[in-house]
Amino acid sequence: MLLRNIALLSFITLIFLSACNDQEESNMPQIARMQDTVLKIYANTSQVTVGVKYHTDLSVVIWDDKLYNGDDAARQQRANEVGALAITIFGKDTKLEKGHFAVVKSTEKNAVPDEANTKGCNINIDSLKKASGK
């Protein structure tokens, strides 16, 4: 079982890294700041992963049992908050357009996200940028 989880985590990491390209390197300071900020703001979040693909697609995965067990409206609210945070951190000229927000049930670090323990929703960054005037 442990070997299967390690293999699955390695596979997910390989897919994530292969999806990243040289363009993402220029986003690394913002990604690191975003991860740190989310961990500081949300006390129940034990881990966060942020990725940006092609400067336009934001991906945020958090490990938070309380939010996972909450309702869809609470997860969508958090997704909107994280999207607004991304606009602030990446700047008013960001090319981010859309994103995906996922919550993993386990608060154990390095738990492998899968369909059984993850709930997600979209982040409509374009709408958030228009609403904020950026």
CATH number at residue 82: 3.30.70.2960
Can you name the residues that pair with 123 across neighbouring β-strands? 99
The yes-or-no verdict on residue 52 having pLDDT over 60 is yes
Specify the range with the lowest mean pLDDT, choosing from 22-26, 48-52, 54-58, 123-127: 22-26
Cβ atoms of 83 and 130 closer than 8 Å: no
Domain that holds residue 14: 2-132
pLDDT, position 108:
59
CA-CA distance, 119 to 90, in Å (whole number)? 25
pLDDT, position 77:
95
The pLDDT of 77-92, averaged and rounded, is 93
pLDDT, position 81:
95
3-state secondary structure at position 14:
helix
pLDDT, position 22:
47
Q: Please count the structural domains in the chain.
A: 1
Specify the range with the lowest mean pLDDT, choosing from 18-32, 36-50, 106-120: 18-32
122 CB-near residues (< 8 Å, 6+ apart): 79, 98, 99, 100, 101
